[in-house]
Chain A
Amino acid sequence: MDNQNTPESIPYVEFADNANERTPCVLVLDCSGSMRGEPIKQLNAGLQALEKELKEDIDASSRVQLLIIKASGTDDVTVESDWADAMNFTAPTMEAGGLTPLGKAMEVALDKIEKRKCLYDNCGITSKRPWIFLISDGEPTDYGWEEAAEVCRYAQKNKKVVIHAIGTQGANLDKLAKFSLLPPKRLTGLKFTEFFLWLSRSVSCISKAAPNANNYMDDITDWNEN
């Protein structure tokens, strides 16, 4: 008999289902000096809630990818948590101090998104349009932030990214608005946890949506002041 003993297939081989469509989401967080005390504490609590909520969502945990960028110091922009599937995401503990280089932080966010898109393409992974959430309690302080904001709006106009600007109490919404084609939102009090739970629900819905479906955004009344 021909090949009677041929194994059906090679044993112990696993096919990783990395073809899951990804939804990349970047959080650009203002951690300047004015966030010291209760604001940074609430921000950290919100990030913990985001981690827990996404990990409990079986689909979103393998589809949503998170990246966290911190804007603080004199002109310091650091990637506090590099790209990770939500199932592997660990909320970093943010510390406050210094100024608010939001322009530079948004440039880093766009660069990281572009590189991520290349990686998805090279690995044959499809992806949803990336989201960037810019969250600040003040206004950009870095030189050239307006040019960076222009680049952000251009990227959004070209459908490379969706940018949401969120300001807490005292934030200059007029300046934050320059980073996005969408109107900025104002966080009620320090409702970071409510905001991040909303973010988890919304990004989860987007990650499961059919191709070309309209972006579904969950009800924002839990955290939005207006």
Chain B
Amino acid sequence: MTQKKLHTVTACVRGALHKAKDLPCQDSFSCKSKGNKVVAVISDGAGSAKYGKIGAKTVCETLCDVLLNSDLKNICDNVKKAITAAREKLIFHRYNKTKSADELVNFSATVVGAFYHNGKGVLFHIGDGAGMAFTSKKYDNFIISEPENGAYSCETFFYTMSDWDDCLRFTPFENANRLILMTDGVTGFVFGEDFSIRQNFLIPIVEYLENEKDKKRAIRALQNTLNDRKAQRINPDDKTLLWIKLP
């Protein structure tokens, strides 16, 4: 059986706020594939958390490793198992001095992920950021996993919270041709009100990525775009955008 090639491009750039404070980018991502199976996860480490970057990196890597051996039928259970495993890693992390779940707040991070296998898949999500699965070649049909925040804009949900499984959302999709995951540093550029797509941001990016054969060039161009001075001025958060052209 022949397998069509999977195209992925991800850019993860440090926001102006962290640049000004000489802090590293708190976003992280991971994307793995095996045959016609794809797992992609991005995470936004909370700026207020001392080790948010570690929390973000841990959950991305753990979810990708665990889910690559999952099937769609058991995906919900396996996402929960993978997040539980990521939490356990943080409990025993050397920066967790008391080795207790109480200190997971120092590793706070969101989760936006996608699992895809043989034409079907699911988006899984805790907190802000967004996931999209496009179901037509144009841009008018897509399944979205929307951001979820608390009562005030400074509050969102993290996988490190004790009630994380109450905040975990699953959005199934089928017949998708491309996936896009993004952290909250990017969502404001992508969506207008009521989560309609702003025509002049996402569409030029996707068109460019789909036509650029040189992956290094595509990544550099996407990084430069997210690093644009105007983009950083409007939203100084870290920014991650992950694009996958599905087989």
Contacts and interface: CB of A to CB of B under 8 A. Distances in A.
Interface string B190-210: 011110001011001100100
Given A15-B230, A19-B188, A121-B152, A9 B225 contact: yes
A214 interface: no
B204 A13 contact: yes
A211 interface: no
Interface in A83-101: 83
B204 A10 contact: yes
Given A9-B228, A11-B208, A124-B188, A16 B201 contact: yes
A124 B201 contact: no
Interface on chain A toward B: helix, strand, loop, or mixed SS?
loop
A225 to B, nearest CB: 38
Size band of the interface chain A makes with B: 20 to 34
Given A122-B128, A123-B188, A10 B149 contact: no
B221 A122 contact: no
Contacts of B225: 9-10, 13
A13 B224 CA distance: 11
A5 B152 CA distance: 44
Interface string A1-40: 0010111111111111111000000000000000000000
B224 A19 contact: no
Nearest to B194: A119
A15 B201 contact: yes
Contacts of B191: 123
A219 B198 CA distance: 40
Contact of A3 (B128, B198, B217, B227): B217
Contacts of B230: 15
A9 B217 CA distance: 10
B225 to A, nearest CB: 4
A6 B220 contact: yes
A17 B234 contact: yes
B204 A124 contact: no
Contacts of B217: 3, 5-7
Given A12-B200, A16-B200, A121-B149, 13 more contacts: A8-B221, A9-B224, A9-B225, A11-B204, A12-B204, A13-B200, A13-B205, A13-B228, A16-B198, A16-B201, A122-B149, A123-B147, A125-B188
